[in-house]
Structure 1
Amino acid sequence: MIFPVRWTDDIERVFDYQQRATPPKPASLKLKTLSWILIAVLVGIAITSAVLVLEVF
């Protein structure tokens, strides 16, 4: 990035406008290790249940 030698009021106004015009990025969803383990266990239980139900029929 190239910065001007003098930071003028015009540059300040454009900079402020760009800061306001650009919306902040939304926070991403980050799961902890325990959450991933819980999800894996629940999926495993669901698959096991489905297999057992299908075996009966």
Structure 2
Amino acid sequence: MSEFTVRGKFQSRDGWQEFETTIDAENENVAEERTYTNFGSYHGVKRTEIEVEEVEA
């Protein structure tokens, strides 16, 4: 597994909030999906309220 850095923003009560997180995953697509899952469960936002701008190894 590789370590990926995912950057983007999500819709919060106060407007758009930027984020940068590190995810262990097999490839970039899995890292992006795990980001959606983690932010959805932790912050209670839907996938349509999350914008992933960059995924890099």
> TM-score, normalised to structure 1's length?
0.29
More helix by share: 1
Q: Quick check: which one's strand share is greater?
A: 2
- Which protein, 1 or 2, shows the higher relative CO under an 8 Å CA cutoff with sep ≥ 6? 2
Over alpha carbons, which structure has the higher Rg? Answer: 1
TM-score (normalizing by structure 2)? 0.29
